[in-house]
Every structure is written in C-alpha cells, then in structure tokens.
C-alpha cells in the first residue's frame, strides 16, 4: 500500500515531468524547423506557407532567435481558447468540436460533485474513525482515513453516502441529458447547414444477389428502377481492385527512388548514380540506378495494364455492392431507412459514408460471413480481454517491491533507498500498464476490420468499444483485483466466482492511491507528452535527415495525426468510470480527475486547432457511445457501492440502492428513444426542406454529373490517368507523368524562382483551393484509403480545373 | 420429497381426471343444446346454423339420442387432424395456425432429445451410483437414481452430460432456425396473398405537435402534403369519445331491458310489466317498466346528442393522433419505416394495426408520459414478480404435510392415511400454484394497457412477456428455491445473494418430481379441462336460464373465446424451459412434456377449428417472442448446468460449458438479423409488386373511397346512425332503431317464418358474407373495442351493401 508520502513523490515526479514537457514544447514549437510538426493543420488548411525559407537567413530558418517568445511558455493556452466553437466546427469539423465537449462534460459533471463530496463526505469519513482504532496490523494508508473505509461497519453515517450516491446520479443524468440534447442539435444543425454532398444522395447497397443471366449492374439497375421509380438516378458499381492497388503502391515507391536519383544526377551531372540491385544494395551486380528504376517502372506499368484489363473485363471483379444515387435527399433517405427485399439478408441499404470515410476492402463481405466474423471476433476479443490479464498481473507483481526483491535480491540495496522506493511504487505499476496498452489499439483496429465494417468512422467506433471492454476488465477490474489477488491468492481461488462483485467492492477503496498514480502518469504526464508530440517530432527529423529527397517527401514526412477516437474515447470513459466509482468511496481522487479533464481539454483544443487533420466527418456519430458508456459507468459504480455496502453491514442500504440502477436504466432508455434517432436516421422533413431549397435556388442543377464521380471506385480515376498517360506517351515520346506530387513539386520550384510577393499570392490561392489528405505513416492507418481532389487554378498551370485522385491501398 | 409412489398416485389421479374430462366432453359435445358452447366458431363462420330447431322434436333439440355417437369418445381427434394447414389459415387465420406450430415445434425438439437422453444419460446416471451408498440420511427419491444427482462428484461421467448439453443445444438451434424460417415464409406468403386491406395503406401517426393557429387535421395535412407529396392521400383524425362510449353502453343495457319487457308484453298482452325502480327492484315506487325504460332511453339519447355536439365541435376532442392513408402500399411502407421529423419524439409513424386490432383508448398518450408509464409499470411488474412469491411460498409451506400437521394438528389422522397423503403431496402444490396464476393475466393485461400500446395484439404480446417473467421467477425459480428454502431457511439467509444460481443448480434435480406433478396437473388435466370448457358451458347455460331474453341475447351468451396468447404463450414457454433445463439433469421428466405437447396440440387444434374466434390477425407477429424465449430458456439451462457442475467438483466443465451460451447468443443474433425484419418491416419490393399488380388488374380503383371509412373512429359511425335515427323518427313517428343486433334478430325471425330450404340457402349466404366479432364477456377483454362489418346482401334486405359498426368501450 502506498502511503501519502509515496503519493506525494509520484505527484511531484509527474508534475515535474509535465512541466518539463510543457517547457520543452514551448521551446520547440517556436522553432521554424519544427513548424511542420507543431502546426501541420495550418499548412493543410492553407493558413501557413513555406515562405519563411526565402525571406530569412539560414539560421533563422531553423532556429527562433527572438528571446521574448521564450518567456511566455504557456502562451499557447489563450490561443487554444480564443477560437469560438462555431469557428472550430468550420476549421476542424464537428467531430473535433464535439470531441472537446466530452472534456467540458467531464468538468461540468465532476466540479460540483467534487465540491460536494469534499465538503460532505470527507468530514463524515474522517469522523467515522474505525481504522484508527485497529492499530497497525492492517496497513491502511493515510488516504484511507478520508475514504469510506474509515467508517465503522453498521454505522448510520452510510446514509450520507447513499444520499450522495443519489445526488451524484441525478446530477450526472441532468448533465448527460443537456449534453445529449446539445450535441443532437449541433449535429442536426451541422447537417442542415452543410453544402451539397454526394453522401446526402447516395445509399450503399450490400449483398446484391447474383442473378445468373444478368450482370450485377443490370440487377441493381432493374431492382431500383422497379422499386424506386420516381427517385432512382444511377449507380456506381464497386470493383475489387486490391491487386491493382498493390501494384500502384509498388510503382509509387519505385517512382520515389527514380525521382531521387534523377535529382541527384541533375545536381551532379557528371556522375550517373549507380548501385547494386541485391539485398539492401550490398550485393548483386552494379547497375545505373536511373536506367534500372525506369526499367522496373515500365515492367510494373505493363503488369498494371494487364491487371486493369482484368478488372474491367472480368465480371467477377464487380463486387455485390453498389453505391446507388437518387435524385433527391428524400429519395435517398427513404431508401436508406427502409427494407428493400423480401429476404432481409439481401439488398441491405444504409447511408453511404462520406467518400473519404469508405473502407473499400470490406465492401464485398457477404451477410452470413459477416455474422460468423463478428462472432469469431467477439470470442477473440473475449479471449484478449481475459487472458491479456496474465502478463499485466505478472508485471505488476514484479512492480510489487517485495516480489521484486525476491526475484532479484541483488537489487535490494538500491530498492531500499527511500526515494527510489517511492519512485518505483508510485510510478512503475502505472507505467507498465501504459506500455501494455500501447500496442493494443492497432490489434483492435485490425479486429474491427475483420468484422467487416465499411466506414473508417464505424471502424474507429468499434475499436473504441473493444478497447473500452479491455480497459474495463484489465485496467479497472484487473488492477483492483489482481493487486489484491497477489496478496490473497489462495483465499480468492476458493471463493465462488459469483463473489467477485463483492470482492471488488471491498478492494475499491484500497486501490484509490493506485488510480491516483495512474491518473497522474496517464492523464497528466501523458497529456503533456501528447502536446510535445515526441514521436512525430523525432520521426519527422529522422525522415528529414535520411529519407526526405524531394519537397514532396517533406510534405509526406509531416504527420498531423488525428484525434484517434479508437484510443482516446475509451481512456476518457475510463476517467469517467473512475470518477463515478470513487465519488462516493474516496472523494480525494476527484481533484486528480478534474485536473486531468481541464488540462486535457486545453491540450486537445490546441492540438485540434494546430495539429490534427480530420480524416473524415461523421457529424458526431460517436456521441451515443459516449453517452451510454457514462451510463454504464454509473451502473458499475452502483453495483460496486452495493457490494461495498453489503460488507459494511449496512443492511438498510439494499432497498435504498436498488432504485439507483433502475432509475439510471430508465433514464438511458428515455435518452435513447429521445435522441438516438438523430444519430441513426435522417428525417424526411429535413430532407424535403433541403431538396426544396435547392430546387428553388438551382432549378437547372445537373445532379447526375455532380454525383457521377463521387463514389467512383478509386481504381477508375487511376485508369483514367493511365489512359491519359498512354495517350501522352504516344503523342510526345517525352514521358509526361501526370502526377499530383510531381506537379506540386514543379509548382514549388517554379514558385521559388519567381518573386516572393507574387508567389505568395499565387500560392495562397493554390493551397487554399487544395483539399488535401496527408498519407499517414502509422501502421494503424496504413490500410486506409486517402483521396485528395486537387483543383489546379494557379497561374503556372493554365489548364482547366482537373481532378486527380491519389490512391493508396495496402491489402 | 415425493417418492415414486406419490408420483404414481398423482399420475393416476391426473390421467383419470383427464380421461373423465374427455368422456364428459365426448358426451356433452354431441348434445345439440351445447352446440353453441362447443362449436361457436362454426356458427360464426356460417358453417352451422340454427335449423335443427325447426326440423326436430323438442327432446332431440336438446339431447342427442343416437347411441352410436357415444361410443367413439375420441372421435374428435381425427376431425381435429383432418384439416390441412392451408385450410386452417383460411378458416382461423395465420395467428392460430402458427400458434399450433409451437406445439409441433415442441414435439420436434423434444422427441429426439428424449430418446437420446433416455438411451444415454439414464444408464450413465444409474451406474454412477453415489446416493445408494449414502444411506438413508438424505431423503432422495427413487427418481433421483435416474438423474444427475446419482453421479458421484468429480466423476468423469459428467463428460456425457456435457456432450449431451452440446448435442441438445445444437438440435434445438437447428429446429428453431427451420421453424423461424418457415414461419417467416408463411407470414410473407400470407401478407402477399392477402386481399386489399386498409391497414396496408395506412400509417398511424402519433405525437402530432400542436400548432397554435392550426387545427390538428390541418397540421397533419400540411405536414404530409409537404413531406410525402407524391403518395399522401388523406387522413382520419381520432376523436376522444370515451364519455360518449359510456353513454352508448348505458343505452344498450337499457335497450336490452326494454326489449325484454316489450317481448313479455307481446306474449301476455293483458298484463303490462311493472317493477320497482330502486335498488335491485326491491324498493322505490312501482312503475310501468316499458314506459320507464323508454323514458330513460330518451333521457340518455338527449345526453348523447349533447355529448356528440361537444365531441364534434370541441377542438380538444381531436387527439394528437391520426391515421394517415397513402395512395399505394409503397407510400405507406416508406412512411411507416422512416423518421419524419427532426424531433424524434414527434410525428412518430408506425404501421396502423388492423382496424379491429386498434386499442383506441391508448392513442392519445404523449411520448414523455409513455416513457414514464413504461418505467412505472416495469417497477410494478418487478414488485409483482418478486413480492407475489410470499403468498405462494406460504401456501406451499402449508402444502408441506409436516407444516400442515403443525398448523392443524387435528388433521393429523386424516393426513396420515396413505392415500390421502399421496394425494395431497402430489396434487396440492401444483394446484395452489394454478389458482394463484388464475387471476394474474387480467392484472397483467391492465398493466400493459397502462403502458400505452395501441393494438390489441401488442397488448397481448406485452402481457405474455410480463407473464413469462412472472412464471420464470415464481413458478420456476420460486418453486425450486422456496421448496428448498423452507427446509433450510436459516442457512439460506446467511448465504450471499450472489450464490443463488448455484443454489438453484443444486436444487434443480431435487425438484424434478414437483415439476412432473405440475406438468400433470397443469398440462394434462388442465388441457383436458380446456377442451371440456367447463366455465363457458356453465355460464352459457346459466345465462340461457336466467338472462337470455331474446335470440340476440342467446347469440351474445355464446362465448367462443380466443387463444389467449397472453396466457398461453408463457405457459408454453415454461414447458420449453422445463424440458431444456431437465433434459440433461433429469431426463425422466421429458416424456411428461412430450405427452403434454402432443395432447395440447390435438386439443388446441380442435378448439381452433371448432371453438375459438380470432379477434384480430397479426400475421404471427408473436413468433420472434416465442423464438427468443426458447433461446432464453436454453441460456438459463446452461447457467444452471454450470451452477450444478460447479458443485459436482467437475472442474473441467467450466471451460467446456462457457462456449454453449456464447454459441447460443450468436445463433440468436444471427436469427434476429436474418428473420426478424420480416416481422417488423414491410419490404418495398413486396409493396411495389402488389401495387403494380393492383394497378394492372383494377386501373380505375377509387382507393380514396375504399379507405374513407376504414379507420373512421367508431364514434362517427354511431353519429351517422344517430343522424339517421333522428331523420327516421321525424319521418315516421314509429321508432326505427337501426341497430345491428336488432336487424339480425329481425332477420332470424323472418327467416324462421319462411320455408326451411329457402331459408337455409339465404342464411348461408348471409352469414357467409358476415364478418362478425362476438363481444367477449370476460372481464379481461371487456375494455376492448370490437368492430364488425356487416355487408348485408341477403334477400330479406334489398338495400345496397351497407356498413354498420358496433362499438363498445368501457373507460
């Protein structure tokens, strides 16, 4: 058991490290060389450009020499707070704005609860005074004197705790209701004020049955012409192009190398670059690199051409999935919300995700396989959740100092040093846990992909929900029980498994200090680390040194990242759980949570404004999950309080506590029916309103052409490119690669050659009109599809606006 | 503990009583006087008429004197089996046909399971042989030697039980899947082959918001004209006419008495009937009854007229509910399945129930109140389920003979008689339970009404589901624990409540004999009682003797009853639960269940063909509930097996058993997504197909006029009647009551006066074209609304087809 002193040391360490991180951040962020690490969102949004390079000296290009800017190391805070919520929605999307509301919700819930708990429950606990009398045979820490453990069993003081449990539950419910209502309103408002989007007119149809005499496209056409005669507009078949995508990726890599060597040759025209072809350039025969890569590229292009023919001509390459478009939002809303076919497993319709949100690989999974996949994955998640506990428990038993001394007696003198001991006891268990959790989201994301969800947003939500179960069992329950379990393993094995809730209830107050350390490590230092962006910083500079060959590579080395809902939602939900469980039991834990929420709010607001790049817009589709998880946390806190009370011989508590979970469940049901439809369905009233407005303002709108390419499978854009390329080759023998990156590079080089003032104007227009998605280098996102539409209208390319798609699938 | 001998006595008693009931039934059913008790459905369907009266003597009109018909006392069985399923659907509706499939499903599930269990598990249990060695200190009965209790703890023989648990689960799943698929197909086929019905074009809209400047009708009109411009046809507002309905009921009662006295006066023209007006006719002043009732009726009519004006003119009488009709099934399907308004609590649309299925009183409940009502009712159900146990436990403790002797020592000599003792032990507990359960469905139906469901079918389903919880906790768990609890009360109170599953698991095999008796009393004798229809028989003859004054009253005294899903579904589900729980534990219970299913199948098939009158057609909407309850039973059986195994020291069973519930849950989810949409939604493909067919066959159909009166609130038909009546009064001073019953009576009287051959033809046509619903006299159904459409086209009334509504609301 950690004492108050241990806790103090831990707090000191964590506050210190958070402070160090903040100072480091303050220094690093104002260095121009780190600009692309700390302000990538501004680059993407076109609010910051590359011009500092041309106007200043070599030194100031990399280091900020203005001493004034170093003084105010918290100067980012007002900046983070300055932007209003409406601006935030415009700048970073509704998802980000609503994500920040989770933190403010945390503050709104826990600030009054903390005040009340500290004013009422702490005095009650202190004057309960049993433990003081028990002597030293049980090693209770000082914190326990302020917790419910200090109240003697059978005491009437437990009425205060029951009353507070009711008050807290009501308060949380009120806050949740208000917030759900706000978010639902924001969502509807956002959707209503959105400009015309392809996904408003499009429905994704899955499990199209195979009709022997017809092609899939014909079947779809016939079906929708028959069943939606008034509104059906067209359809976009989906091609299975995973092999082609692999080739594209391969070609791109080779192209990069070719660019690099050509650049090298340009700079030193006398020496043609050579190298070996074998493994890692160390063996094999010596060849001219430019020739070599050109040959390999043309080889790949040949294979691409044959693969392309295969995709286009093979009917099996058309998947039983289609994006069906309608001539009005009303028609699409109707089709998405109704059942189409007599067989409910065929012609499954749903809203099409945003084009950039589609996860193409999962589109072809049939219904039955989907059901099997989900079952298998749920078993796998179950196994992961329950057997992952073993290594954590092992590491934690090592982190237990007595255990460590037994395993490694030679460490004893070091460990026994007071400072080291406090450090280890305060820091190790939380840290071990954090490391374990680090690789997990990736695994869970892959699991979600196997489950067959078709949009990135739903994948993230599914990952979040798996991660939540994991956190609940392993971080929360695992920490509560395992820590106790190693002290009383024998007794525990011989208790019936149904006793667990009670055991947890009893263990809860004892683990308060552990969770305080956890909050400090994970919440305080962790968030400070988030703003410092150590990993992207290091990787960016490493890439800059070793890999970046062209300006385009520098752009690719910039890793804005995103909010990572799959990882952050569950952690947030864990904090809510801790807060709600300990609100009645050990109120002293609450201030730690409040500091976390406040600090994290500032940091994430700053990051959302300056760093993260939104990958898709789901219009806050994750809120129902956030809401129901907080409800679940409340229910867990009620059950545990129940377990705790039953060991405290407070017999009257049973009938009083039984209504709390009932009320909570009713509240949840009410909120679900009241607000959830706003997140799952699209009201016809709304659809009709927007349709009518559009008809009135643009009576001659050609919707068909607007929708024609929106859900075109990326392969088609590449096909167009390829066809153009082939034509160009024939015309001019000179190889003209119509490539987004190449163009951009050319543009930058031209721009640099021109006068800076003229350049600035031009470039601003260009980047402003560029809707760009950076390709993430994270393994967790490497299989996603990124699409960017480049509308070129700057002066150095007088060609008409032109769509170029960038495409990246790793199967 | 009951011994094998007790069980034998109980079986003898129950088989005997079942046999007696069957013989009684055989004798009573062939008496013409009981015709209306045993064959009401045939009267209603027009397959049997009243003509036996005119052609035979006074004696043969009441008693069957043909001795041959008495010999074959089971002659009804082939009759019950002869009708094919398709004929059954045409004769009694899909609900009835699918209801019978539950019994065949029971047979399909349990016949193979029983065979396997008796062949494999019984030998394993017999040779397990622990209890034999324990001596007489635990009073295990002989049946326990054949159950799992006989296997010694820690034995490897439990592998057989685990294996069987898997085999049984798989078998049940296969059967459930096949049956769900069959029923879903039958439902779709039924809906597709149905002729044009108003409910196919109608959507019920609830929670219409009040707009201050508009009336509700205008609001509805405007909303649907805007949001469904292509398909909206019209709307039918709903009036709050509960007070008017009360007056109508009152008038009807007075009218009955007036009829009676007028008839009396006609037969004895010399003596005008007189009576006292005061309480029960014993005090008050002596008045001329005919005058008195005429005066009272005209008084009521005056009040009705003013109330009518109030309903018609008061905008508050229009409820925020409307039946909205569309010009095609497609339009209605779209509207019913989509969300209309931005506020998900307004403009709630759903399929309109069949006109005769509508429960008018509940239409006006607002959304929020609905949510509160459901919460309160769920608490009430919870209380009912858990505190109802006390009286049952008390009665059962009395039924415990030792307890009875203590309470009433003077009974000791009687009780100790061997036969009486066996009788009491075998019969009493089951009977006590049955009596307790008798009044319950009514209470639960009222609770469901308070919850605010708008159709009779959903009310019945909700009642069924409440009743199931009740049965589960009180009949199943209550019997298992309470019986044991009175023997070991002290030990039980000091165990943690979480231990309950284990306690139940252990108690399960010990309670096998109790449930065997229960099945015999409730299942065997109970079903035989169902076919005998003692209560309707007695009531019919009592009514005939004392109350029936006119032929119309005789028709009303006929009580065909209905399947009573609210009561029968949960009992059936209880049998499934018992079968599944005991399949592995005490296989000897299974034959009892099989006999129940087989016998009940025959009886209900007979009753459905000859007796029950379908009140509404929900197209087997109850099947998903049946399915999921059987799944729940399987899960319960798994949990209890788990509990039982954990006390048997079969440690290896834990990991092996954990997959059973998982597999079951997956199966349930799969079935839910595969089949449930067929019961909840109406596919657009289907709707469009039927629309097109109709357009092709009847291009000039005036749908508007077809739909105009379909969902007219009954009050309007009464208003029309009233208006006509008033007109008629003015024209001819003679009072012409245009009343359904009166017409029918007239028709019968006229028909009797004519030649029998001509009559028969005429009448057959008349009743065949008459779609009639008998008004139930049950208190449980007295608040329902019954509607019958009479298309009069027989020769004695040459007027054009004409709608007359009968209306009956008791608020």
| DSSP β-bridge partners for residue B358 | B455
- B228 CB neighbours in chain A (<8 A) are 684
Helix (H) or strand (E) holding A463: helix A456-470
Residue B526, token pair as written in the block: 């109970």
- A333 CB neighbours in chain B (<8 A) are 338
Distance CA A367, CA A207 (A): 7
Helix (H) or strand (E) holding B167: helix B158-193
- B675 CB neighbours in chain A (<8 A) are 344
Q: Which of B337, B203, B340 is nearest to A683 (CA)?
A: B340
> Could you tell me the pTM of the whole model?
0.74
Q: Do A334 and B338 touch (CB under 8 A)?
A: yes
Distance CA B515, CA A150 (A): 50
Q: Do B683 and A341 touch (CB under 8 A)?
A: yes
Please tell me the number of Cα atoms within 13 Å of A647 on its side-chain side: 19
Least confidently predicted of A392-401, B262-271, B567-576: A392-401
Supply φ then ψ for residue A583, to 5 degrees.
Answer: -55, -45
* CA distances (Å), origin A788, targets A703, A769, B403: 21, 11, 83
Distance CA A205, CA B685 (A): 14
- A681 CB neighbours in chain B (<8 A) are 338-339, 344
Q: Which residue has the tokens 């405290």?
A: A648
Beta-carbon contacts of residue B438 (< 8 Å; ≥ 6 apart): none
Which DSSP symbol is given to A533? T
Question: Virtual CA dihedral for B746, B749, B753, B758, nearest 10 degrees?
Answer: 80
- B365 CB neighbours in chain A (<8 A) are none
A404: alpha, beta or left, given left = phi > 0 and alpha = psi -120 to 50?
Answer: alpha
Which DSSP symbol is given to B710? T
Q: Which of B156, B149, B164 is nearest to B650 (CA)?
A: B156
Read off the pLDDT band of B725 (50, 70, 90): low
| DSSP β-bridge partners for residue A236 | A323
How do strand B274-276 and strand B318-326 relate by DSSP bridges? unpaired
Q: Which of B232, B496, B206 is nearest to A498 (CA)?
A: B496
Who among A227, A501, A683 is closest to B341 (CB)?
A: A683
Residue B737, token pair as written in the block: 């009551």
Assess whether pLDDT exceeds 50 at residue B806: no
Q: Do A339 and B677 touch (CB under 8 A)?
A: yes
Who among A498, A662, A685 is closest to B340 (CB)?
A: A685
What's the gap in Å between the CA of A758 and the closest CA on chain B? 49
Helix (H) or strand (E) holding A790: strand A789-790
What's the gap in Å between the CA of A686 and the closest CA on chain B? 7
How do strand B232-239 and strand B348-351 relate by DSSP bridges? unpaired
| DSSP β-bridge partners for residue B348 | B206
- Nearest-CA residue of chain A relative to B226? A688
Q: Do A338 and B339 touch (CB under 8 A)?
A: no
pLDDT digits 0-9 by tens, B339-393: 888 887 788 888 888 888 888 878 877 777 888 888 889 888 887 777 766 666 6
pLDDT the model gives residue A746: 47
Distance CA B62, CA B59 (A): 6
Whether residue B530 contacts residue B21, with contact meaning beta carbons closer than 8 Å, is answered with no
* CA distances (Å), origin A632, targets A569, A581, A623: 14, 11, 14
Distance CA A165, CA B363 (A): 38
Residue B430 CB coordination number (10 Å): 24
Beta-carbon contacts of residue B756 (< 8 Å; ≥ 6 apart): B51, B54, B55
Who among A330, A340, A382 is closest to B685 (CB)?
A: A340
Sign of the CA dihedral running A694, A695, A696, A702? positive
Whether residue B488 contacts residue B457, with contact meaning beta carbons closer than 8 Å, is answered with no
Who among A342, A496, A675 is closest to B685 (CB)?
A: A342
- A682 CB neighbours in chain B (<8 A) are 339
pLDDT digits 0-9 by tens, A732-779: 443 333 344 444 444 454 444 444 444 433 333 333 333 333 333 333
Read off the pLDDT band of B593 (50, 70, 90): very high
Contacts 24+ apart (CB under 8 A), B368-373: B369/B452, B370/B451, B370/B452, B371/A666, B371/A669, B371/A670, B371/A673, B373/B450, B373/B451, B373/B452
Distance CA A2, CA A392 (A): 19
% of chain B with per-residue pLDDT over 90: 9
Residue B629, token pair as written in the block: 């309850």
Which of the pair, B636 or B279, is modelled with greater confidence?
B636
Supply φ then ψ for residue B756, to 5 degrees.
Answer: -70, -35
Residue-wise DSSP of A423-460: HHHHHHHHHHHHHHHHSHHHHHHHHHHHHT--BHHHHH
Give every residue of chain A whose pLDDT is below 70, as ranges.
1-4, 48-73, 128-144, 276-284, 388-408, 415, 423-437, 481-502, 545-553, 650-654, 713-811
Which DSSP symbol is given to A163? H
Q: In what order do the strands lie in the sheet with B232-239?
A: B232-239, B318-326, B202-206, B348-351
* CA distances (Å), origin A5, targets A16, A483, B196: 16, 20, 81
| DSSP β-bridge partners for residue A350 | A204
Least confidently predicted of A293-302, B177-186, B705-714: B705-714
pLDDT digits 0-9 by tens, A159-183: 888 888 999 999 999 999 999 999 9
Average pLDDT value for chain B: 74
Q: Do A683 and B646 touch (CB under 8 A)?
A: no
Beta-carbon contacts of residue A192 (< 8 Å; ≥ 6 apart): A686, A689, A690
Beta-carbon contacts of residue A137 (< 8 Å; ≥ 6 apart): none
pLDDT digits 0-9 by tens, B412-438: 777 677 777 776 666 666 666 666 667
B285 and chain A: CB distance < 8 Å anywhere? no
Distance CA B475, CA B319 (A): 42
Beta-carbon contacts of residue B188 (< 8 Å; ≥ 6 apart): A342, B678, B686
Residue-wise DSSP of B184-244: HHHHHHHHHH----GGGTEEEEE-PPP-TTS-HHHHHHHHHHHHSTTTEEEEEEEE--HHH
Distance CA A314, CA A542 (A): 45
Whether residue A767 contacts residue A721, with contact meaning beta carbons closer than 8 Å, is answered with no
- A678 CB neighbours in chain B (<8 A) are 342, 344
- Nearest-CA residue of chain B relative to A336? B338
B287 and chain A: CB distance < 8 Å anywhere? no
- B678 CB neighbours in chain A (<8 A) are 342, 344
* Measured CA angle at B633 (ends B171, A655), to 5 deg: 160
B195 and chain A: CB distance < 8 Å anywhere? no
Distance CA A806, CA A803 (A): 10
Read off the pLDDT band of B53 (50, 70, 90): very low
pLDDT digits 0-9 by tens, B638-696: 888 888 887 777 666 667 777 888 889 989 988 988 888 888 888 888 888 888 888 88
pLDDT the model gives residue A559: 76
A681 and chain B: CB distance < 8 Å anywhere? yes
Whether residue B681 contacts residue B320, with contact meaning beta carbons closer than 8 Å, is answered with no
B666 and chain A: CB distance < 8 Å anywhere? yes
Supply φ then ψ for residue A152, to 5 degrees.
Answer: -70, 145
Strands of B225-339 (E only): list them: 232-239, 274-276, 286-288, 318-326
A686 and chain B: CB distance < 8 Å anywhere? yes
Beta-carbon contacts of residue B610 (< 8 Å; ≥ 6 apart): B38, B39, B40, B41, B42
Distance CA A551, CA A540 (A): 13
Burial grade of B57 (CB within 10 A; 0-12, 13-18, 19 or more): exposed
Supply φ then ψ for residue A203, to 5 degrees.
Answer: -125, 140
Who among A230, A337, A501 is closest to B338 (CB)?
A: A337
Chain B, 481 to 540: residues with Cβ < 8 Å from chain A are 496, 498-499, 501-502
A804 and chain B: CB distance < 8 Å anywhere? no
pLDDT the model gives residue B115: 92
Please tell me the number of Cα atoms within 13 Å of B124 on its side-chain side: 24
Helix (H) or strand (E) holding A235: strand A232-239
Radius of gyration of chain A measured on its C-alpha atoms: 30
Contacts 24+ apart (CB under 8 A), B723-728: none
pLDDT digits 0-9 by tens, B577-589: 999 999 988 888 8
Residue A581 CB coordination number (10 Å): 27
Distance CA A568, CA A132 (A): 41
Distance CA B323, CA B712 (A): 9
- Nearest-CA residue of chain A relative to B224? A685
């Amino acid at each position: 058991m950690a004492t108050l002193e241990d806790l103090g040391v831990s707090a000191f360490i964590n506050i210190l490290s958070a402070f160090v991180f903040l100072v480091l951040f303050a220094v690093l962020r104002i260095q121009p060389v780190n600009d692309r690490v700390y302000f990538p969102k501004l680059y993407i949004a076109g609010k910051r450009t590359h011009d500092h390079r041309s106007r200043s000296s070599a030194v100031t290009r990399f280091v900020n020499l203005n001493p004034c800017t170093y003084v105010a190391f918290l100067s980012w805070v007002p900046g983070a707070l300055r932007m209003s919520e409406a601006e935030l929605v415009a700048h970073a999307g509704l998802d980000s704005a609503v994500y920040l509301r989770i933190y403010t919700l945390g503050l709104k819930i826990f600030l009054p609860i903390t005040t009340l708990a500290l004013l009422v429950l702490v005095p009650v606990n202190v004057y309960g005074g049993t433990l003081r009398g028990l002597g030293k045979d049980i090693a209770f820490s000082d914190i326990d004197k302020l917790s419910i453990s200090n109240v003697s069993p059978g005491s009437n003081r437990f009425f205060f705790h029951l009353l507070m449990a009711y008050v807290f539950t009501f308060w949380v419910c009120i806050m949740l209701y208000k917030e759900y209502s706000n978010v639902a309103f924001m969502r509807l408002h956002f959707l209503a004020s959105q400009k015309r989007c392809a996904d408003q007119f499009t429905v994704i149809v899955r499990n199209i049955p195979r009709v022997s005499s017809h092609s899939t496209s014909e079947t779809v056409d016939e079906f929708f012409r028959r069943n939606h005669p008034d509104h059906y507009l067209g359809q976009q078949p989906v091609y299975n192009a995973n092999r082609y995508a692999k080739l594209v990726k391969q070609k791109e890599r080779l192209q990069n190398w070719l660019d690099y060597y050509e650049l090298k040759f340009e700079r030193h025209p006398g020496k043609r670059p050579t190298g070996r072809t074998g493994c890692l350039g160390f063996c094999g025969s010596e060849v001219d690199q430019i020739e070599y890569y050109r040959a390999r590229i043309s080889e790949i292009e040949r294979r691409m051409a044959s693969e392309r023919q295969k995709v286009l001509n093979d009917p099996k390459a058309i998947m039983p999935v289609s994006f069906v478009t309608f001539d009005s939002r009303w028609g699409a809303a109707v089709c998405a919300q109704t059942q189409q076919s007599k067989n409910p497993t065929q012609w499954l319709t749903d809203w099409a995700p945003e084009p950039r949100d589609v996860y193409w690989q999962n589109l072809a999974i049939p219904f039955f396989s989907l059901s099997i996949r989900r079952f298998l994955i749920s078993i796998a998640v179950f196994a992961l959740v329950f057997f992952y506990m073993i290594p954590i428990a092992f590491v934690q038993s090592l982190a237990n100092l007595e255990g460590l001394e037994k395993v490694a007696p030679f460490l004893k003198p070091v460990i026994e040093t007071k400072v080291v001991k406090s450090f280890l006891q305060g820091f190790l268990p939380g840290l071990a846990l954090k490391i374990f959790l680090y690789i997990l989201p990736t695994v869970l994301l892959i699991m979600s992909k196997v489950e067959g969800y078709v949009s990135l947003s739903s994948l993230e939500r599914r990952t979040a929900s798996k991660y939540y179960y994991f956190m609940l069992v392993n971080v929360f329950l695992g920490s509560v029980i395992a820590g106790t379990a190693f002290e009383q393993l024998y007794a525990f094995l011989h208790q019936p498994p149904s006793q667990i809730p009670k055991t947890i209830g009893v263990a809860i107050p004892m683990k308060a200090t552990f969770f305080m350390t956890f909050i400090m490590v994970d919440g305080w230092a962790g968030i400070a680390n988030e703003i410092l962006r150590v990993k992207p910083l290091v990787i960016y500079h490493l890439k800059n040194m070793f890999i970046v060959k062209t300006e385009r590579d520098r752009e690719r080395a910039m890793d804005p990242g995103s909010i990572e809902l799959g990882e952050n939602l569950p952690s947030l939900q864990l904090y809510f759980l801790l807060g709600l469980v300990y609100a009645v039991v050990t109120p002293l834990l609450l201030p730690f949570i409040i500091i976390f929420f406040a600090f994290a709010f500032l940091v994430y607001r700053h990051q959302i404004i300056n760093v993260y790049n939104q990958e898709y817009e789901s219009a806050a589709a994750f809120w129902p999950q956030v809401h129901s998880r907080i409800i679940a946390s409340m229910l867990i806190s009620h059950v545990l309080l129940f377990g705790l009370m039953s060991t405290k011989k407070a017999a009257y508590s049973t009938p009083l506590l039984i209504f709390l979970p009932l009320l909570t469940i009713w509240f949840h049901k009410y909120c679900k029916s009241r607000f959830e439809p706003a997140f799952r369905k699209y009201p016809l009233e709304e659809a009709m309103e927007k349709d009518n407005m559009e008809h009135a303002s643009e009576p001659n709108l050609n919707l068909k052409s607007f929708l024609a390419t929106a859900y075109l499978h990326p392969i088609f854009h590449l096909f167009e490119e390829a066809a153009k390329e082939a034509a160009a080759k024939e015309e001019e023998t000179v190889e003209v690669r119509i490539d987004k990156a190449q163009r951009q590079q050319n543009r930058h080089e031209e721009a640099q050659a021109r006068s800076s003032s003229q350049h600035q104007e031009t470039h601003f227009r260009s980047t402003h009109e560029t809707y760009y998605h950076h390709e993430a280098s994270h393994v967790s996102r490497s299989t996603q599809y990124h699409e960017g539409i480049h509308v070129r209208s700057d002066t150095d390319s007088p060609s008409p606006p032109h769509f170029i798609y960038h495409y990246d699938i790793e199967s």
